[in-house]
Amino acid sequence: MKMSHTLRLTMAQALVKFMTAQKVEIDGAILPLFDGVFAIFGHGNVAGVGEALYQARDVLPTYRAHNEQGMAHAAIAFAKTHNRRRMMACTASAGPGSTNMVTAAAVAHVNRLPVLLLPGDTFATRQPDPVLQQVEVFSDHTITSNDCFKPVSRFFDRITRPEQLLTSLPQAMRVLTDPVECGPVTLALPQDVQTMAYDYPTHLFEEKVHRLRRQAPDEVELAEAIELIKAAKKPLVIAGGGVHYSGALQELDQLVSQYQLPVGETQAGKGALPWDHAQNMGSIGVTGAASTNALSADCDLILAVGTRLGDFATGSRAMYHPDARIISINVGSFDAYKHKAQPLVGDAKLTLPKLVAGLEGWQPEGSWVEKAAELRARWLHAQDVATTDRGTELPTDAEVVGAVNRAAGEQDIVVCAAGGLPGELQKLWRTRYDKGYHMEYGYSCMGYEIAGGLGVKMAKPESEVFVMVGDGSYLMLNSEIATSVMLGQKMILVVLDNRGYGCIHRLQQFCGGPGFNNMLDDCLTVEGGAPKTDFAAHAIALGARGEKVGNIKELEAALERAKASDITYVVTLDTDALVVTEEGGSWWDVAVPEVSPRSQVQEARARYEAYKARQLQNL
């Protein structure tokens, strides 16, 4: 008779022990799947999860952070840098600590990035009802503040009995490691249940090695896609984040090199090809290169690889030629079906070589290939012009991007998320290394930048991590500077201070609005205006180093000092809020009022309607 082996542990101890048994195989090496756990304790998790993490601290490090949203951003950035193969967990106390992580859960959800969120929850027994920080829904006692995670979790469970782990954890692992469903998993942990013991079967704690499941394409869909491509004369490839997550860089290179296909990169896809690859036309869409967008307006076929085809990639659907056919290679059918595309569901690394083989004998029109090469050369020149120091009093974002790009080494990484910088970076940053461009532009969450930079550094300690951040995002969430200093995870922060929400101010003007409530000078303030923030002094107060510079030359010198520093280093400079790179780009659908007493709004509305008509052709 088979002996039943059990281990008497608390639910929290069992969860942590299970986590330490999860491994991942990457390039033949077996590594822990969970690198560690970010934790901010409170009454909701200190005695249960906290005690369990202490017991496991030698195999699963616990990192103390300063803001729950920030720590979850760091965990998400860590997973993205590892192409979703390695990840972290985050635990927070019941109530505010946990709801602070909801925005980060949304970041992970939109970007399809794995993170294990472990919020404490109110007592399952309800004996102290209402416990401190319980929100108390009058009509429904099953609702707690953690229900906020449900719409932004790919898998949610509330562990109300210790033995529920046995059936919940395999599902949690399935979602965290599945290429299609991948996203945040939330296990809400009532504080009393964390501490309850159960005789767990020991098989729960056996080592489990996770491997990436690769879905081969369906033969019929493949044949249909090949027929469509063969009928095309003017093809364009869009490379999205899926190319990275599939590890299909070489396969993409082979396809586009062999058939001379021009490639536009999305924010998540940037780095799929090095910037100087002959087929890399640059970024695509609202913040796209002039080269790529011109091709997009004139192409007869779009081969979208691993992209969600969000509005920024498609110019809100008004950019690409209405007669262009779209083939969407995607591991998930949800994305493959968008934009009336011909779906080709499958893993890019398996699918692209089948296209290479199936297209034998076909080639795009010669004039299309020439046009692409010309446009590319012109665009590279425009990039050079935009990023060159003009020596004006206030540098532009583009000039700062140029200086940071020149300072960055082969394996270094730039991190950004929101503001005017993502557009300038997507257009202008020259990515040499596939993981060298880390942009959170699925949720474009202000406050991701600095915390995300910490996670990137933890994933790639040998790389210099340059976080480019606006004054607005810096002020929104900067607490993880202190964490980076504490953990010895050095970042270089470049703060572009244009004294306000520059990109929204420009958007407001584009929509016919007056300067209102975006730039500090346009806001309600005390007499004399808003105080000038000293970002360098602020960072120094958090334990980092910092300095303010006045122009691009000084920035270049400061970046060298920053590179030589062994702790986080902040360089701040005043920048121009109004000047952005004119070349490239396309319309973005931001709704303009139908009626307004302002003539500027009426004019903006007329422009808006013209674009809406173009968009209609692609709906």
Ligand X SMILES: Cc1ncc(C[n+]2csc(CCOP(=O)(O)OP(=O)(O)O)c2C)c(N)n1
The residue ranges that bind ligand X (CB under 6 A) are: 418-421, 444-447, 470-473, 498, 501-504
Burial of 560 from C-beta contacts in 10 A (0-12 / 13-18 / 19+): exposed
User: Nearest residue to ligand X, using CB?
Assistant: 470
Residue 487: closest CA among 83, 62, 92:
62
Query: Which residue matches tokens 């009058």?
Result: 138
Query: Is residue 36 part of the contact set for Mg ion (CB under 5 A)?
Result: no
Angle value at C-alpha 210, between 208 and 212, nearest 5 degrees: 170
Angle between helices 480-487 and 68-81 (to 10 degrees): 60
539 binds, among Mg ion, ligand X, none (CB under 5 to 8 A by kind): none
Collapsing DSSP to helix, strand or coil, 581 comes out as: coil
Query: Whose Cβ is closer to ligand X: residue 471's or residue 574's?
Result: 471
Contact 249, 272 (CB under 8 A): yes
Q: How far apart are CA 213 and CA 13, in angstroms?
A: 29
Q: How far apart are CA 586 and CA 432, in angstroms?
A: 25
247 binds, among ligand X, Mg ion, none (CB under 5 to 8 A by kind): none
Query: Whose Cβ is closer to ligand X: residue 221's or residue 574's?
Result: 574
- In the complex, minimum distance from the CB of residue 111 to Mg ion, in angstroms, rounded to a whole number: 23
H or E segment to which residue 591 belongs: none
- In the complex, minimum distance from the CB of residue 562 to ligand X, in angstroms, rounded to a whole number: 20
Query: Whose Cβ is closer to ligand X: residue 355's or residue 418's?
Result: 418
Query: Which residue matches tokens 């009532």?
Result: 190
Query: Whose Cβ is closer to Mg ion: residue 356's or residue 476's?
Result: 476
418 binds, among ligand X, Mg ion, none (CB under 5 to 8 A by kind): ligand X
Chain residues 476-515 in contact with Mg ion, contact rule CB under 5 A: 498, 502
Query: Whose Cβ is closer to ligand X: residue 34's or residue 443's?
Result: 443
Query: Whose Cβ is closer to ligand X: residue 242's or residue 442's?
Result: 442
Contacts of 62 (CB under 8 A, 6+ apart): 36, 37, 38, 39, 53, 54
Angle between helices 249-258 and 348-358 (to 10 degrees): 20
Query: Whose Cβ is closer to ligand X: residue 302's or residue 439's?
Result: 439
- In the complex, minimum distance from the CB of residue 310 to ligand X, in angstroms, rounded to a whole number: 14
Contacts of 611 (CB under 8 A, 6+ apart): 316, 318, 587, 589
Query: Which residue matches tokens 């995870």?
Result: 489
Query: Whose Cβ is closer to ligand X: residue 133's or residue 498's?
Result: 498
- In the complex, minimum distance from the CB of residue 506 to ligand X, in angstroms, rounded to a whole number: 8
Query: Whose Cβ is closer to Mg ion: residue 458's or residue 469's?
Result: 469
- In the complex, minimum distance from the CB of residue 475 to ligand X, in angstroms, rounded to a whole number: 8
- In the complex, minimum distance from the CB of residue 159 to ligand X, in angstroms, rounded to a whole number: 30
552 binds, among Mg ion, ligand X, none (CB under 5 to 8 A by kind): none
- In the complex, minimum distance from the CB of residue 401 to ligand X, in angstroms, rounded to a whole number: 12
- Paired sense of beta strands 6-10 and 197-201, if any: antiparallel
DSSP state of 204: G
- In the complex, minimum distance from the CB of residue 503 to ligand X, in angstroms, rounded to a whole number: 3
Burial of 408 from C-beta contacts in 10 A (0-12 / 13-18 / 19+): buried
- In the complex, minimum distance from the CB of residue 115 to ligand X, in angstroms, rounded to a whole number: 18
421 binds, among ligand X, Mg ion, none (CB under 5 to 8 A by kind): ligand X
473 binds, among Mg ion, ligand X, none (CB under 5 to 8 A by kind): ligand X
Query: Whose Cβ is closer to ligand X: residue 332's or residue 502's?
Result: 502
Query: Is residue 242 part of the contact set for Mg ion (CB under 5 A)?
Result: no
Chain residues 444-473 in contact with Mg ion, contact rule CB under 5 A: 470-472
Collapsing DSSP to helix, strand or coil, 25 comes out as: strand
Size of the site for Mg ion (CB under 5 A): 5
- In the complex, minimum distance from the CB of residue 423 to ligand X, in angstroms, rounded to a whole number: 9
Residue 24: closest CA among 241, 207, 242, 216:
207
Residue 575: closest CA among 445, 474, 449:
474
- Site residues (vs Mg ion, CB under 5 A): 470-472, 498, 502
